[in-house]
Every structure is written in C-alpha cells, then in structure tokens.
Structure 1
Amino acid sequence: MATSDALRDTRIPLSHGSGMIPAVGFGTLIPDPLATKQATRTALEVGFRHLDCAERYRNEEAVGDAMQAAFKAGTVQRKDVFITTKLWNTNHRPERVKPAFDASCRQLQLDYVDCYLIHTPFAFQPGDDQDPRDEHGQVIYDSGVTLVETWQALERLVDDGRCKAIGLSDVTLEKVREIVAGARIKPAVVQVESHPYLPEWDLLEFCREHGIVLLAFAALGHGLSPKLVDDPVITGIARRVHKTPAQVALAWAVQRGTAFLTTSTKPEYIQQNFEISALPEDAMREIREGIRTNVRFNAVVGTGVPGFIPRTR
C-alpha cells in the first residue's frame, strides 16, 4: 500500500486495471437524483477521487451530470477520478452483461470505468424489473446461470478495453475463493460491508494474500443501531486525538489496509469524512482488542437483496 503524509491521499495498487484505487471513497447510494448530483459535486470539490456507483441505485445519470460539471469547472480531470459501478442481479446472464455495462457508461457519460463489480453473487430472473417477485412476494432467482459464467463475461469486458478492472461485491469468503480459483483475470476489488463491528479479518487476510483490495461499504455502520459512532472505544479515542468518532472509524479502515466508502448529503459531513488522519498504534490495537460487538447490518450476502435500497416495483 502506498501512503502519503496525508492518510486521506492513500492509494492502493490494483492487481490489474487503472493503477491504484483511492482508499477514501464516496458512495452514491442516495435516493433523490438532485441530492445525488449536489452531494457528488461536493465530494469532488472537497477532494474525494473515488466514486462508487451502481445500476441498481437508479441515479447513474445524476452522478454523470455532477462529474461532467466538475470536469468542465476544472475541479478535477477524468484521469484523476476512479469510478466504480456494478452489474445488477437481473443481468447475470452472459448476453446481458455487455449491454448493462454499456448502459452504465452512457448514464455516467464516460468512455470507460475504472472498476466494474458484480453487485451480488445472486442471479435474479432476467428482465426490466430489478426486484422480481412471485405471487407470495418471494424473490425469483435465475438458476440458468452460474457466477463463474457471469465472471467470464466480465473478463471479456476487460479484454474489450473499456472496463479497466473487475471485482465482486456482497460476497462471502467462500464465493471469493470460488472465483479466484478459476478466474482468468482475478478480482482486483472485493466490496463488502466492513467496520469495527464487522472487521472481516479472514476475508481481509485472503485478499492480502491474493493482491485483492478489500473495499468496505457501510464503513460507519450506516447509522443503524447499535451505533458504531457511539461506541465507547471509538468515542474515547476520538476525544484523545481530537477527531470525530466517524473520522476515527474511517482512519482505522485505511490504516488496516482497506479502502472504504462513506455517503452523506450534508456538506459538513462530506468534508469531515474526507479529512481523516493517522491514528496512533495504541488506538488501532484498542479498536481491535477492545470492541466486542459483532453485527452485520445488511443481510444482502445471504439473499442478494440489498438492505439499504428501498424496494420499488
């Protein structure tokens, strides 16, 4: 991992693709398109250089508008921004992968993306309904395609040149092992929920061994209860180092070797979440050894249904 004097400028080398991924990332899971556009512009203005998007968020166009405005204003150049987006569950069949990727590029108004992830390892019934359900309200899965077949379609995107790196999201260590074992192009990034209440040490160790970047979403626990930012270990460290509890949790994420995503629509929080600085080693040990709470806030790894995206039909 390459680290500058400022923790927030950390870049982590990718095993393939666009050089290095900025460890400090801004997630764009924001329901309102206008709020998405403003928050994305603010994130770029304060210094975020990694944007995480997804077809399923239904707001790629708003993110694209914000990026284009920032490019035209001279805030940042395209080459300096790392863009991740994701293939949704209804497009796992190989023949649907490239059209889905092309649609994301059009919405984002980009010639290429830096990283394309399989949003979850679960294939849903193909079609325009992103949340297909039967008459009992149960998800309709697609047994006609394997995760390996979908992965091979992503590998062909890399061959085509407009997709620089590929990876997985919302997966277990077992699924990552399955893809790594048979992949022609290994995953560059694995995005999972991770924070001091769900450190995923085993997955992180596997990723380190195989040159994969672990990208943590919900790095602050998504504001759900029990609240990570209210944890006495985190708040105690925050008082000692004169940082917010959020800044402590985010610094911990980078210092242990992961990248992270954080999302906000409030300019002051966007600024604070970018302005992290290194924690003393005793604080890192205290977080690892002193926090006993263990909780997963998003059950997506078991169902393919994201817990943070409202259902719409």
Structure 2
Amino acid sequence: MLRYKRIPLSDGATSIPALGFGTLIPDPATTKRAVAAALEAGFRHLDCAERYGNEDAVGEAMRDAFAAGTVRREDVFVTTKLWNTNHRPERVLAAFQASLRRLQVDYVDCYLIHTPFAFQPGDENDPRDEHGEVIYDSGVSLIGTWRALEALVDSGRCRSIGLSDVTLEKLKDVVAVARIKPAVVQVESHPYLPEWELLEFCREHGIVLLAFAALGHGMEPNLLEDPVIKAIAHRVNKTPAQVALAWAAQRGTAFLTTSVTPSRIKENFDLSELPEDAMQQIRDGIKTNIRFNGVIETGVPGFIPRAGPTQGSR
C-alpha cells in the first residue's frame, strides 16, 4: 500500500518511508502532541532540525511511544539537520551530538546539511549586520562540511547523510567529489514545482528526493484549489491534499507534511494510489510554476520567522 511505501537508500542497508512527518511546529507542547499523533497514525519517518528549536519535544514524544510499545526505535526513520552556523568542520560533531541528546536517540538515520550556506559561526542562529543583512562565513566550503558529515557516518552514529535546500548545480558539485554520496536531498517540491530535472539526476545517482512543502503550505496560488487537483480528488473520492501527496509518493519521491490536528494527520497518512491517467493529468495539465520558499538563494528558510521557530512547517 502506498502509505507504507519505503524507498531504498544508496547505502543498501536501509530504506526511508515515503511518507514523512515534518516537525517545524509552533511550540514544544504542541510539537510533542503532534509527533505522538503522527506515530499513532502510522508515520514512521520524522523530519527534525537543530534550527527548529524543538528537538527536545520530538525526543520526548518518541521516548514515550517507545516506552509504551507503540513503536520501536528501529522502525522510526529519524532525520535531523546541521544548521548554517555550524558548517565549520570542527563544529559539526558537537552540533550532531547535541541533536542526539535532545532527540534522546543513540543514532540518527539521516543527517542533512540544512542549507548549503554557511553563516557566521556562533550561538546566534540568524546573524545579521547593522543593515540587517545575513553575515555569511567565507572561511568554510560546502565540501569541507560534507567531509565532516562523512566522518559521522564512519563513527556509526549516523546511518546516512544528505543535503537540503540545494540547487542541482551544488548537488552535482558534492556528488562529484563525495567519498560517501548523498543518500537524500530535501527540497521544496509539489505539483507547482515538480523539479523533474533534479529528480532525474537523483534517480541516476541513487539519491532519494525528499519533498518539503508538498502541499504548498496553503500559500497563493493555492495548490489545493487547483482545478486539476480538485477534479481528480472528486473522481477518486479523496481530498485534494491526499491527491497531491499520493502524486508525490507515486512518482518516486518521499515527502513531508505537517499538521497539529490529529484528524488531518490521519488524513495525510491515508493515501491510495492514483490511476496512471491522473498522474499524467497532473504532469501535463498543471501549468503553474512557483517556488514558495526562497531559501536556496539565501540560506534563510522562508517559513522560519527570524525571531525563532514559532510557525510554519519548514
């Protein structure tokens, strides 16, 4: 069944559940409840990040689920991310270990470089100069950071590594020199931003494309109001969200969706395969092309307010 689909990773030893639950959620208490509801609904892939500021809450929810016997650690694919201020190789291990402690796990299944942009190292997540401009760090290269992630895999506490918010060009640069190839690439993708060229490159190199903003975040133009999506939803007796998510899984990508409402979480897990002609309709019939998040140009995620991770789902 589509909802239980897993995609093999390039290391050959593990696979990633196609259906993932994103954890950029307003506050710790809400995060904990939402993660618990996601695990109860059947999600076995949790996407976290140092930058979201709530790894502790995700860890508590997992700990409670493991203790209750609801789910086993080995059944949950846990991803987290290295933030931009920790790109210097000497900072990577400490950042990784801090995430492990907050998540209360002995290893993570996948560790991603949150964006390819290095920010000024330090405790300020969003370093800015007197003009409000981001302070970048020119003292480190993306390849240098990647080498530090490869060392984490060597240590055995990180099963696989990858990149997030990356362009095809930067991905090619890493793939060309990597000793351990990226297993996962997380980017914004949905029927309004299908990223076919990037997906084809990922397929050729055994990389899983993991789509965030898979439902477009309800931003304008609203993907879930698209006539093609709505017509298919009516025909197959599913919601527009279920159609968009099934499209993502069926075309070979994994995806992330986020909600704090248990009924919506269950809906987002309750997917069924679309007819092949519906898949073709989405590919051929949707002409809108838009990126909702400009993070790949700046390194600043558009769905994380500068004051801190208080809203959104990225």
Q: TM-score, normalised by structure 1?
A: 0.98
Aligned to 1:93: 88
Q: Is 2:186 aligned against 1:219?
A: no
User: How is 1:266-281 mapped onto 2 (pairs within 5 angstroms)?
Assistant: 266-281=261-276
Aligned to 1:122: 117
Percent identity over the alignment is 75
In structure 2, give the amino acid aligned to 1:256. Answer: R
Shift of 1:8: 0.5
Shift of 1:18: 5.1
Shift of 1:16: 1.5
Q: Is 2:255 aligned against 1:260?
A: yes
Whole-angstrom CA distance in 2 between matches of 1:130 and 1:86: 13
Aligned counterpart in structure 2 of residue 36 of structure 1, from 27, 31, 34: 31
Shift of 1:222: 1.1
1:138-172 deviation line (CA, Å, top 9, x unaligned): 00000000000000000000000000000000000
Whole-angstrom CA distance in 2 between matches of 1:53 and 1:99: 17
In structure 2, give the amino acid aligned to 1:84. Answer: T
Query: What SS is found at the alignment partner of 2:162?
Result: strand
Aligned to 2:174: 179
- What residue ranges of structure 1 are gaps of 5+ in the alignment? 1-5
Q: Is 2:55 aligned against 1:60?
A: yes
Aligned to 1:164: 159
Aligned counterpart in structure 2 of residue 249 of structure 1, from 241, 244, 265: 244
Whole-angstrom CA distance in 2 between matches of 1:244 and 1:18: 35
Whole-angstrom CA distance in 1 between matches of 2:24 and 2:11: 26
Aligned to 1:149: 144
In structure 1, give the amino acid aligned to 2:241. Answer: A
Aligned counterpart in structure 1 of residue 8 of structure 2, from 10, 13, 19: 13
**Misfit runs of 4+, over 3 Å:** none
Whole-angstrom CA distance in 2 between matches of 1:50 and 1:172: 24
Query: What SS is found at the alignment partner of 1:66?
Result: helix
After superposition, the Cα gap between the structure-2 partners of 1:117 and 1:18, relative to the gap in structure 1 and judged at 3 Å, is farther
Higher relative contact order, chain-length normalized (CA < 8 Å, sep 6+): 2
In structure 1, give the amino acid aligned to 2:69. Answer: G
Whole-angstrom CA distance in 2 between matches of 1:272 and 1:260: 15
Query: What SS is found at the alignment partner of 2:186?
Result: strand
Aligned to 1:282: 277
Q: Is 2:226 aligned against 1:240?
A: no
Whole-angstrom CA distance in 2 between matches of 1:219 and 1:292: 17
Aligned counterpart in structure 1 of residue 42 of structure 2, from 34, 42, 47: 47
Aligned counterpart in structure 1 of residue 192 of structure 2, from 194, 197, 200: 197
